Structure 1
Amino acid sequence: MKAILYTKSIPRYLAMRYLGKKWGSLYTSPLSSVRLVEMKEPQLPTQQWVKIKIRLSGICGSDLSTITAKGSPYFSPFTSTPFVLGHEIVGDIVGMGDEVEGMSIGDRIVVEPALSCRVREIDPPCNQCQNNRFSNCENITNGSISAGVQTGYCRDTGGGWSQYVLAHQTQIHHVPDGISDELAVLLEPFACSLHGVLQAAVNTKKDICVIGGGTIGLLTVAALRMIGYENRIIIFAKHPHQQKLSEHLGADVVISASRGRYDAFCELTDAEPFQPELGQQVLLGGVDVTFDCVGSSTSIDDALRFTQAGGEVILLGMPGIPKHIDWTSIWYKQLHVKGAYTYGLESYQNEMIHTFQLGLRFLQQHGESLLPLVGEPFTLQDYRRAIQTALNTGLTSSVKTVFDLREEK
């Protein structure tokens, strides 16, 4: 089968990390750690697994971080190379083990990527999995498959950037007929945003700020509106197409992520700015909750400054190793800073429900508004252009770049 394979190489990693900043074409050059290959189709690890033929698979910021070597090395012990990238997956079941229940050949499904104890068939499960925090599994290097925090980072499961991928039966969620492939491929990132939104008691808050107009930032705005948040949403979005989509999804005020952002923010919120001897302005006042959907040094520092005393900062964007952040805001303003990683079991309107299932419910009810986020589809053979499109959103006006394998033979 055809697949986009990531191979570990220290020289290639260093070349991408330090030379790619100047020559972005290196990320898809022969020096890159990713390449299109022909490889054997993956084999079921146990009889509780299914084989999936890919329809669509998205390109996530974490995939790009892997390719460009810009991310933190934090997760490197929890991968097994070589691996096929891609964890935003919609496809059809084309094979299954004898112990799989509740599924049939031909079912259209999405994959929940977390490779937890139940996926690894470890019993008894770890403390995190016992408490339904499957994304924080403590056995991600053990069990019936190789190390990997998610599908797309484990050599045994395969990934979405290929013709076929494997998933444990507990990772499978059926896609209702009313949800298109293009909408279904957004479920995984939408679940991440929805999980972050549900970390804060947002419906009691007056003003909310979202930093970042990429996929996660835009889906955070959408998730806020879908759960019924009716007050003001302020979003910082860099590019014109992101600003337009922000308004389309329900943001009340869109601020350009430029040098004048502090003045614009203070005018909107009545926060009072003060200039310290060094560094960025310090604000008294601000919003109740800020969602950082970028994960950069600048965005995290801004989030801490834009949030009023006693407020909440939710870190949704995948950080690298941020520098030059003044943490005094957390201490002085007694901020509540919380990470929001992937998905889990949510408490929503007196119901305990998995993020993916709640996400599917919202997509059935309101999903059509999200379709403009899905851009031009690419074949695997055109992977270089797909990756460069996703990397250069300002030039390409892309949000969610996807691989379309529906015609692949």
Structure 2
Amino acid sequence: MTIGLAERVIALKPSASIVARQKVTELQAAGKTIIDLTIGEPDLDTPAHIIEAAISAARGGDTHYTVPMGTPALRKAIVQKLKNDNALEYGLNEVIVGVGAKQLIYEAFAATLNEGDEVIVPAPYWVSYPDIATIHGGKPVIAECPETDGFKLTPQSLKEAITARTKWLVLNSPNNPTGAIYSREELSALAEVLREARHVWVMTDEIYEHLTYEGKALSLGEVAPDLKDRLLIVNGVSKAYAMTGWRIGYAAGPAALIAAMNKLIGQNTSCASSVSQAAAAAALNGDQACVAEAAETFRKRRDRMFELLDGTPGMKLRKPDGAFYFYPSVEGLIGKSTPDGRVLKSDLDVALYLLESAHVAVLDGSAYGMSPYLRMSFGGALEDIEAGCRAVRKSCEALV
């Protein structure tokens, strides 16, 4: 006899990036050499001073439960970070720590969504936004942001997406998968629409905040401080400090929402790791030179990937302003035939062809809500980027 699974779990799609990573791992375990351009994390090591802080905390006996919302030391560091970097004032009761930024998105939706509430998700989007909304009874409303608009939500598109049932708008800048960053003027224009729709809350995912190459990434709260009472900022230490495995995210928002999220965390994970929280506090409080160095490393990788892929037959790409992904159009490859006679009918077909012929793993744009595109990461080692791009180009040139 098998247990009956909940309908919400049956309907839930697995994370595309996690599935891709699992597939790459399986192929590598089978002895195949695969160049992985799907990775959603830096290949850099966590800076030494952060690791030393974790070791010191563990040796000092800081190995016990913390309160669900996070240690006072880490929350103070978050409050100071928001003040220094974003000119935003928050109290300790308005910030919360989670097991990664993803948990805080999950808890925010769990705390606020009722059946049928709508969540506006601009596309292309990070793969988990729609599914996390759906699992909590929400209805994702996908607002397409074409490349002609810089892959960014326009005020008109936002107006058209808002209904009486809208509960949240999700804004991700710098964006995964496109690297797009909203300017001050663009955020101001969106804020004008939101001022008219007073029932709409805004979740800003700012996890790639410091990985920018063409100017600073601004928080909506900086541009429109009057919206702060219905704004939830989600961020973390994973990307900027190469701390993905430490699993520390944080959020800042109105005290009542933070209290509700705190209640939920208390009933599921209890708290984030105490040692990881000590490390995160050291990251936020310490010398930020490591963040600038990481951004410069990724800038060089971005420029090299562009150099190697620019002019690839059937592929059109633009340099991302932030994060560490290219999102090239492969419209020119659709309808082409592989050397063995198969016709490529979708970006998924293109991704599978590159895996088979070039032994390069990339992600199809359909997973991110917009086709025909691919997501290609430059988060990995430069030698892998160079080898992968050359192999991709060669495979594209082989199509007829």
TM-score by length of 2: 0.35
Name whichever structure is richer in helix by fraction: 2
TM-score by length of 1: 0.35
Name the structure, 1 or 2, with higher relative contact order (CA <8 Å, separation 6+): 2
Name whichever structure is richer in strand by fraction: 1
